Amino acid sequence: MEKRNEEWKREQSRIEMIQQVIKAKLEKLQDRMGGLKEGIIELRRDFWKDVTINLDHPDDVIETFTSIKQQAELLAEQERNHGQSYKKVEQLLRLNQSPYFGRIDFQEEGEQAAEQIYIGIASLMDQKDEDFLIFDWRAPISSLYYDHSPGAASYRTPSGEIEGNIELKRQYIIKGGKLKGMFDTGVTIGDQLLQEVLGGTANTQMKSIVATIQREQNHIIRNEKSRYLVVQGVAGSGKTSAALQRAAYLLYRYRHTLTSENIMLFSPNPLFNSYVATVLPELGEENMVQTTYQQYLISRFGKGFSVEDSYSQIEYTLTAKDEPGYDQRIKGIRFKTSVAYKKSIDEYVEKLSTQGLMFKSFHFRGELLFSSEEIHDLFYAFDKEISIPNRLKLTAEKLLKDLSAFAKKEREKDWVLEEAELLDKEDYLEAFRQTQKEEEAFDDMEQEERFLKKKIVSQHLKSIRRQLKGLKLLNIEALYRQFLTSDTLAEAEDWSLIRAYTINQIDQRVIPYEDATPYLYLQDQLEGRKANTFIRHLFIDEAQDYSPFQFEFLRQQFPNSKMTILGDMNQAIYAHSMHAPTLLNAELEGEEKIVLTKSYRSTRQIVEFTREMIAGGELIEPFNRNGEEPTVTKVESLESLHKGIVDRVGELQKKGHETIAIICKTAAESQTAYEQLKAQIPLRLMKKETNAYEKGTIILPAYLAKGIEFDAVILYNASQQQYGREMERNLFYTACTRAMHELHLYSLGTCSPFIPKDCQG
């Protein structure tokens, strides 16, 4: 015991030494930043004083330009240095509170003694900047902490494998600069540290897991070779957290060639984007680009169509089972997300290479400028061996030449002069400013008139010219409609009814969610699309919700990108992904698959309860954190249901639970329940548009809760009527697995068959 106390004092003393080093570095940085800030203010204030401006001769103009450029570069460099110093200050302040979480004593082969290696969220050197006091968790040597127990160990560096022996492995809990816990362990991460981290309340932001990374998670984080890294992880296995730490690792490992702007995350909804938004900044990195698949689709369609979102589609699949045409719509969803549907489009495009393309007509001032027939003939006059996009380019180039010739003739028309005479002062001055830019200043009335005519005609033709340059010659809508009537599709089951529904939606200017990807894919195959080569790593979360067709589409959009693909087949809740191939179980060339079976989010009791709901659930391993047994309460009336929920929320709040979720099946049920409960308990309603949430009690549909965790979950109505169909099993499981500490199910009438029989009472 005395030895333990001495060790504790030594460790606390080291923390205080670290704080002194941090204090000295902060003082030095703040002095430097003060000087930088004053320098930036002075540079901005005196910017034009220090620039030599002389525009009398060409040489003077070049000298002036060089002078301005040098001054701007100096200012930019000062601002960049200030920004880097500010980031360093933030990092040091974080280290001051909790400088490190791990230590290994490693004796490298050939060395006389072991080196004490302390591991934290960032590196820290001594005051002379000679030796490391703390190693960044992403440094090669830090992998020893995650991958090895005491004994023989090795780690990989750019110069080769380093071998040796770990003599001690220690984990710390340090808060506010004070040592709160210290554990020597023989395993990757000791249960005591995990209990401390996982036993707390859920947060409205995802936690950084660098202190508790497990060996299998470390494999995900540090994988550098795989083109496609596919992670199948059970609910609560930490797959998303590991992916975010992976992004931080990549930014550290390739810091000279990779920035956060080169990494994109496709997440399930805007609420989830908010939930994970602080993880990278907490690790000292800029946030990566975040979007949803829906947002990406909308950005591509523009204003021409309203694009149905996946939530509207899932609301339909969950609530409209008694409506006419329901079964056909479900078949249509499954078919249109399949590789077979993509192949049908590829065959259609092949036929269009020789005949059948439909073009737009272009009108100018109410008169036909280029007819669709004229463009059709021009296009098919080119060699058929040339690809469709390249022939479109050649066609557009010819039309642009014709447009320039037309513009010259049009300038002499009376309407042009009339419009020039009606220009108000602001329009005239704008035109005059344009002449200065183009070095075409006019000296007399005739030049002025000629220039204004040119500008007016050019402005009127701007939209047509833009469409021609963008190769927007095709009538994509008409071509998609034509595709829907093709012979190959006619063989699909119930196709005539599926087609009728689709065309009816398009007539109303709505693109069904299942048609959005095929429509854009067809457009890209015909027009050609400049791929996004700027994004070099793509993270796709909730990958079980993506079809193979959607994946092929993304692969085409981001051809140079490596991908980290994360998901759980037991949480596949969309009509196209249940009992069907998805991105998660597709066979990909150059892939590596990692399976995570241990669940850390929920207590052992909740995991054991929920794993019985799904096939293969016996393979899910609970982390040994004990809690209360889940409860199932059967009620016979809405009044009893609401009273039970109100009483339960009160009990949970008294226990100190800060995030309580009342999870409903659909948005419609959430709205109804909210109206009934809001007068009795403080409550917020989450909708698909919600992009952030705060602590408290919230009510939301199950599909919006994906990826998020709560202290306690109340399932609003776990009855057979609500969750009786096989297609609702995964949704039910997803809702239940959001709970960290407590799970309470209420059933209005007969319980759902997905609830384990011995729990139904």
At 133, list the tokens.
């006091």
Q: What pLDDT, on the 0 to 100 scale, is given for residue 274? A: 81
Tell me which residue of 73, 71, 69, 75 sits closest to 36, measured CA to CA.
75
Q: Is 487 helix (H, G, I), strand (E, B) or coil?
A: helix
Is 567 annotated as belonging to a binding site? no
240 has binding-site annotation: yes
**CB 105 within 8 Å of CB 166:** yes
Q: Measure the CA–CA gap between 248 and 143, rounded to whole angstroms.
A: 15
Q: How many CB atoms lie within 10 A of CB 729?
A: 20
Kindly report the backbone phi and psi dihedral angles of residue 244, in degrees, each rounded to the nearest multiple of 5, phi listed first.
-70, -40
SS3 100: coil
Beta-bridge partner residues of 162? 155
Amino acid at 722: Q
Query: In angstroms, rounded to a whole number, what is the distance separating the alpha carbons of residues 543 and 266?
Result: 9
Name the packing angle between helices 388-410 and 462-469 (round to 10°): 160
Q: Which two tokens stand for residue 391?
A: 């022939």
C-alpha distance from residue 580 to each of 333, 450, 700 (Å): 12, 66, 27
Query: Which residues touch 661 (CB under 8 Å, ≥6 apart)?
Result: 697, 698, 699, 700, 705, 710, 712, 713, 714, 738
pTM of structure: 0.84
Separation of CA 236 from chain center:
19
Residue 719 per-residue DSSP state: B
What burial letters (b/e) apply to 506-537, b meaning 16+ CB within 10 Å? beeebbbbbbbbbbbbbbbbbbebeebeebbb
**Binding residue per annotation — 239?**
yes
Range list of H helices, 422-563: 425-437, 445-460, 462-469, 476-484, 487-490, 495-507, 513-527, 548-557
Q: Could you give phi then psi for residue 361, rounded to 5 degrees? A: -100, 150
CA distance 49 to 647: 71
Ligand-binding annotation for 238, yes or no, is: yes
Q: How many other C-beta atoms are found inside a 10 Å radius of the C-beta of residue 710?
A: 27
Is residue 364 within 8 Å of residue 415, measured between CB atoms? Answer: no
C-alpha distance from residue 291 to each of 274, 541, 688 (Å): 11, 11, 14
Q: How far apart are CA 60 and CA 64, in angstroms?
A: 6
Q: Which one, of 486, 465, 477, lies nearest residue 358 by Cα? A: 477
Could you tell me what percentage of the chain is helix, strand and coil, using 3-state DSSP and rounding each to the nearest 5? 50, 20, 30
Per the CB < 8 A criterion, the answer to whether 212 and 577 are in contact is no
Which residues pair with residue 517 across a beta bridge?
none
3-class DSSP assignment, residue 751: strand
Compute the residue count for the chain: 761
Q: What is the pLDDT of residue 146?
A: 87
Q: Token digits for 686?
A: 């989450």
Spell out the residues 6+ positions from residue 130 whose beta carbon is closer than 8 angstroms to its own.
Answer: none
Residue whose pair of structure tokens reads 């003082």 in the numeric block: 27
Does the annotation flag 233 for ligand binding?
A: yes
Which residues, 6 or more positions from 240, have their beta carbon under 8 angstroms from its beta carbon? 206, 276, 541, 566, 707
Quickly list H helices, 260-324. Answer: 270-275, 279-282, 293-301, 310-319
656, 742 contact by CB (below 8 A): no
Closest CA to 511 of 326, 345, 347, 336: 336
Alpha-helix runs per DSSP H in 475-512: 476-484, 487-490, 495-507
Q: Compute φ and ψ for 257, nearest 5 degrees.
A: -125, -10
696 annotated ligand binder:
no
- Torsions phi, psi of 582, nearest 5? -135, 175
Tell the residue number behind the tokens 């309407």, with chain if given. Answer: 415
Chunked mean pLDDT (size 10), the chain, 761 residues: 82 93 85 55 51 48 56 60 68 87 92 93 89 93 90 90 93 89 69 56 65 85 92 92 91 91 91 81 85 92 90 93 92 92 95 95 92 95 94 95 90 80 62 53 62 82 91 94 91 92 96 96 92 92 91 92 93 78 72 91 95 93 91 95 96 95 96 95 91 87 91 96 94 96 96 82 55
In the prediction, which pLDDT does 57 show? 47
Closest of 665, 674, 671 to residue 730, by C-alpha: 665
CA distance 646 to 716: 11
Residue 120 in marked binding region = no
Query: CB under 8 Å to 689, separation ≥6 — which residues?
Result: 270
